[in-house]
Each structure stands twice: as structure tokens, then as C-alpha cells.
Amino acid sequence: MEAMEIEEEFLNRTTDRANKLIAKIFLYSNFVCVIFLIAHYFDFFNMSYTYTLIIWALIIYFSVSMFLFCRLNVSRSFTMYHGLLGVVVVISAMGANSAIGVNISYAVATLFSCLYLVKRYTIVASTVGYLGMVVSLFIKSRTMYLVDMTSDTPMEYFNPILAGFTIEYIILLLACTSITSILRQTVYELQERTERIRRMQTKELQTFANIVECRDKFTGEHIERTSIYVELIARELAKTEKYRNILTREVVNIIIEAAPLHDIGKIQIPDNILKKPGRLTADEYEVMKTHSEIGYNMIGSYLPEIIDEELLMYSEMMALHHHERYDGKGYPKGIMGESIPLCARIMSVADVLDALLSKRHYKESYPLEKAIDIIKEERGKMFDPDVVDSLLNVIPKIKELENQAQEIELIEEL
């Protein structure tokens, strides 16, 4: 199932990128029409202003529609077919004019379809492109016949040109389907290799995080539980309209991998403070607060050669900012609102939730309902409202995890 999810995510990202690229190409194509008008003004060719404006109208339509479809997250497949159809329509319309048609390649849509790395898309684009070419060549043949009048019928122009282009299309289709298959396999192998490297990095990060557990059992268990809460909240938040494009599957996985390092700075907090059986004094609390910056510096010093740049960045942000408050009254930087990195805002809620649910030397654990009430009271003050709302949506899953943990404890006692 994991392999299927990876492949689906891979195809989704590929399709999104190709759709955006074709949208940009349509946008830049508007300059082509400007060139046509200038060329016509200087008598480089005799395509009429009216015909140029028709082509320009088509390009503007597909430029705007593709931009909106990509921006509004319209169905990937629909956006793709719409874009490829737009390429066929524009190229065929341009090719139907005898003034410039000889310089237009009808193969553009087929070549663009290779960007999607799916063979059936290439076949569909090639078929539609071929039909567009047939119509375009027929219109152009009639125009040439009416101008020349040396042939008995327009078909004497049409047939030999169509035969030549048909052979070209067959060769092109075979080549592009082969290219698509090879590119897909190559890119997917790179994707799998990246996933293997990512799993290795996760194990290395977990080992690094376990150093804290060697000093403080409470912190070690806290790291494990908060990572679970971070995963639940992040995956739920990724379903919302606001964060759907930000919290992609890849980003969520990186946040989950980075979560265990959020308290790594506690490794340098003195034992008399870290393991103190009672509440901390004001001075001791100031020392404890330094763990966020210590963790940030440790990650930046020791991990750049072990993990990739993106995972390093998220690890640093979560370690440094997980004690910031939404109202700006947190530490160490005192930043507020959405200026706090999203991954740290998620970590903050997970961190406090576990602190409330956990028993410490100086406090008893709170029931889940009480802990949730406290977090709800801090919605918009200590915590990001969107993150709190996502936590509320996953409460049933957290209850289920709590029940499973209690069952395991009973079994171990027996």
C-alpha cells in the first residue's frame, strides 16, 4: 500500500508541475501574437490582422483558464486534457493559414504530453493532435487550391502532404511513448532511491533523539508521544483548503521525521534542573528555556552532513520555535501569529497536549477532556486556531491510542 501511495503522490506532483509549465507556455505565447502583428506590419508575411487576433483570443483564453485551473486546484486530469487540447487547437488554427502553416509543428502537443510520464496521455494527445492536423491541412489545401487553380481538386494538395505527416506522426508516436516509458521508469527509480535515503535519515534522527532519553526517561517518552500527535494533527490540517497545497504528503512526512528533535537541546540542561523533582524556580526556568536555542544550534552543527537541507530546515525551525505563542508572548524570539513556522505551531500544540496528559513529579496527569478544554481556552492566544481545530478533529484517534496504551500496560503488569 505504501508503494501505491508513493507512486500516486509521484504522479500527482508530476501532473501538477506539467500543468503549471503548460500554463506558463500559454502565457508566454501571447508574445508570439505581438511578433505576428509586428511582422505583418513590416510585410514579412500576409496573415491578416483578423486571423492574428483570433489566434490571440484562443491563446488568451487558454492562458487564463489554465492559470485559474492550476490556482483553484481543478481536477488534475481535466486540467491536463484541457491544456493539451489547447495546444492542439492553437497549433491547428495557426497551421491552417497558408502564410505561416509550413513553419508550424503539429507534433508539439505530443511532445508536451511526455511531460506527464504516462503513456496513455501521450497516445491521446497524439491522436487528437493528428485529427487537428488533418483538419488544418484540409483547410490549408483548399486555400492553396483557390489561389493556384492549377489542380483539378484540393485533394491533390492534401493527399501527399497528409501522407507525409501521417508517417511522421506514426514515428513520433512510437518515439514519444518509448521516451515516456523510459522517463517514467528513470524518475520513479530516483523517487524510490530518495525514499530509501529518507528512511535511513529517519533512523539516524531517531538515534540522535534517543540520546535525550538516555538522560531523562520522561523526555524520551514525551518525544515518542508528541511525534504521534504531530502526525495526527499535520495529516488532519493537510485536508483543509488553506493548507492543502502547503502540507503536501512530502512536507507532512518531513515534519513527522523532524518532530523527535524538538527537545534535543535538553541534552545540555544540567541534571539538577532537567531532573528536578519539583517545580523550577524563576532562574532555573530561564535556564530550561535555553534548550530551544541550544537544540537549534546542535542541529545546525551536527546534522548538515547527515540529513538533507529541507529536513534540516524543518528540524531547526521546530527546535527553535516550538515554545513561541500565537499572541507573541512566547520564547525565544517572541514572534507571533503566522510568522511562527507552521511546523512549530503544530509542534507547540502537540507538546503542550502531552505535557498536560503526562504525570510529573510536580503534577498529576490531566484527563484528556480536561487537557482539551485547556487547549481550547488558549485557542488564538497560545495556539494557532487552525491547528487547535485540527487537533479537535482527531480526538477520537487519540482516545483510541490511549486505550491501546492502557491495554498494553495491563498486559505487561500481568
According to the model, what pLDDT value does residue 9 have? Answer: 74
Burial class (CB in 10 A: 0-12, 13-18, 19+), 342: buried
The pLDDT, as a whole number, for residue 1 is 42
Cα–Cα distance list, 227 to 209, 244, 267 (Å): 11, 21, 18
- In the prediction, which pLDDT does 168 show? 83
What domains sit in the chain, N to C, each tagged with a CATH number?
Answer: 2-189 (no CATH), 216-413 (1.10.3210.10)
pLDDT at position 82: 95
Query: Rg of the Cα trace of the chain?
Result: 31
Q: Quick one: cell of 411?
A: 498486559
In three-state secondary structure terms, 240 is coil
Residue 379's DSSP bridge partners are 383
pLDDT reported for residue 18:
92
**Phi, psi dihedral angles at 360 (to 5 degrees):** -130, 170
pLDDT of residue 152: 61
Q: Can you give the pTM of this predicted structure?
A: 0.61
- Write down the pLDDT at residue 143: 74
pLDDT of the residue at 33: 80
Q: What is the mean pLDDT of each run of 10 residues along the chain (414 residues)?
A: 64 89 92 79 72 89 94 89 93 79 72 89 91 87 66 73 86 89 83 75 70 60 84 94 89 91 88 84 93 92 82 93 95 94 96 87 82 94 96 91 62 50
Q: Look at residue 99 in the predicted model and tell me its pLDDT.
A: 65
Report the distance separating Cα 309 and Cα 252, nearest Å.
Answer: 16
Residues 6 or more apart in contact with residue 359 via CB below 8 angstroms: 365
